[in-house]
Amino acid sequence: MPELPDVENFRRVVDGGGLGCQIAGVAVDDDRILESVTPRRLGARLRGAAFVETRRHGKHLLVRYAPGTGDGGWVTLHFGMTGGVARVGQGESQPPYTRVRFDFEDGGHLAYTSRRMLGHVGLADDADAFIRSHQLGPDALDPGFDNDAFADCLRDVRREIKSALMDQTVIAGLGNVYVDEILFQARLHPKTRLETLDDKALRDLYRVMRRVLKVAIRNGAGTEEVSKRLPSGYLLPHRTKGARCPRCGTTLAKETVAGRTTWYCPRCQPEPGKA
DNA sequence: CGTTATGTTCGATG
DNA sequence: GCATCGAACATAAC
C-alpha cells in the first residue's frame, strides 16, 4: 500500500487521533524494524511526551513529539511494501503485525504495523535534515511543487518514464501502483523515453499526477475500500490477470518495466516507435 | 511447492 | 558519473 496517497491518509489518522495524547510508553515487538535506535532509547525519549505535529514527505511520515523531559524531536515512519498505522482505542487489541505500539495514558495506542518487516521506525532531531539525508526529491503533492518545478526535475533525466517517476531522488512519493495509474490516465506507455516528451506532454503529465494522487487520497488510499471507491475509469482496481481496460475493453498487458510488475493498456498506451 | 507482492539499497555491468 | 539489471532484505497469501 504505502505510496504517497496511502501515507497521507496515515498522516491524517495520526492527526485525528494521536496528537495531544500523553505517551505512557513504547512497546517494540520486533526491534529489527528500528532504525539506528534501541527500543530502550525510543521509550526513554517518548515517555511522558506527546505527539504534537505531523509531516509527510513522499512516503515518509514524520511525527513530532514535545517535551516530557529533555528535548523534543521527530519519530520517523516508513512502511516498506506493507504496513500502516492505526489508532486503537482503550480496551481494543492491537492489529495484526503490530511491530511498534505507542501506548497512551488514556489506555489506547497508536500501532505501527508491518507485515513484511521492510519498513523502519526511527528518531530524527530535525525533519529537514532527515529528508536531505535520504536525498529525497520534492514531494509530489507539495503545494510549491508547480509545473515549472516538475519540468525542472525531469528535464535532464534520460530514462524510461516509469523508472524516472518511481525514483524517490527525482520526485518523492510515487510508487509502482500509482505510477501505473498516472501513466494510464496520461495515456503514456511505461517505456516511453522521458526525453521525448515536449513541454505540453510534461504539463499534461504534471496535471494528471496531481489529480490521481488527490483522487486516491480522497477515496481512501491506504484502506481496503480504495479499489471499490476510485472512479470507474481508474486502472488500479483492474491490476489482475485477464482484466480489461476500463476505457476501451482491451485486455490489459502485464510486463516487467524498471524491475517491477507493470499493468497498462496496449491500445490506449501504445509503445512509441512501435506500430 | 512455486510464485508473487504497493519499497529500498547495493553491487556488477555497460 | 549515469543508466540498467539482478539480488537481497523478510514474510505471508495465493
What is the pLDDT, as a whole number, of residue A130?
Answer: 97
Helix (H) or strand (E) segment spanning residue A54? strand A50-57
Name the average pLDDT for chain A. Answer: 96
In angstroms, the CA of A47 and the C1' of B7 are apart by 30
**In whole angstroms, what is the distance from residue A11 CA to residue A161 CA?**
28
Strand C nearby residues, CB < 7 A: A 30, 32, 97, 115-118, 157-160, 163, 258-259
Q: What is the pLDDT of residues A100-152, one digit of tens each?
A: 999 999 999 999 999 999 999 999 999 999 999 999 999 999 999 999 999 99
- Nearest nucleotide to the CA of A159, by C1', is C3
Strand C, nucleotides < 7 Å from a protein CB: these are 2-7, 9-12
Look at residue A95 in the predicted model and tell me its pLDDT: 97
Tell me the nt nearest to A164, Cα to C1'. C3
What's the CA–C1' distance between A273 and B13, in Å?
27
CA distance A244 to A26: 47
Judge whether residue A122 contacts strand B, using its CB and a 7 Å cut-off: no
Question: Measuring CA to CA, how many Å separate A63 from each of A78, A133, A200, A201, A239?
Answer: 11, 17, 38, 37, 33
The residue ranges of chain A whose pLDDT is under 70 are 68-70, 274-275
**Residue A82 CB-density burial (10 A; 0-12 exposed, 13-18 middle, 19+ buried):** middle
Residues of A annotated as part of the active site: 2-3, 59, 260
Determine phi and psi for A63, rounding to 5 degrees: -125, 120
**A219 CA, C3 C1': Å apart:** 36
Residue nearest to nucleotide C8 (CA to C1'): A118
* CA nearest to nucleotide C11 C1': residue: A116
Residue A43 is placed in which grid cell? 521509550
Strands A34-35 and A120-124: parallel
Measure, in angstroms, how far nucleotide C7 C1' is from residue A110 CA. 35
* Distance, CA of A26 to C1' of B3, in Å: 37
A3: nt with nearest C1' to CA? B6
Q: In a 3-state reduction of DSSP, which class is residue A175?
A: coil
> CB within 8 A of A120, min separation 6: which ones?
A33, A34, A35, A76, A77, A78, A80
What is this structure's pTM?
0.97
A59, closest nucleotide (Cα–C1'):
B7
Residue pair A261/A46 in contact by the 8 Å Cβ criterion: no
- pLDDT for A275: 55
Cβ A65 vs Cβ A52: under 8 Å: yes
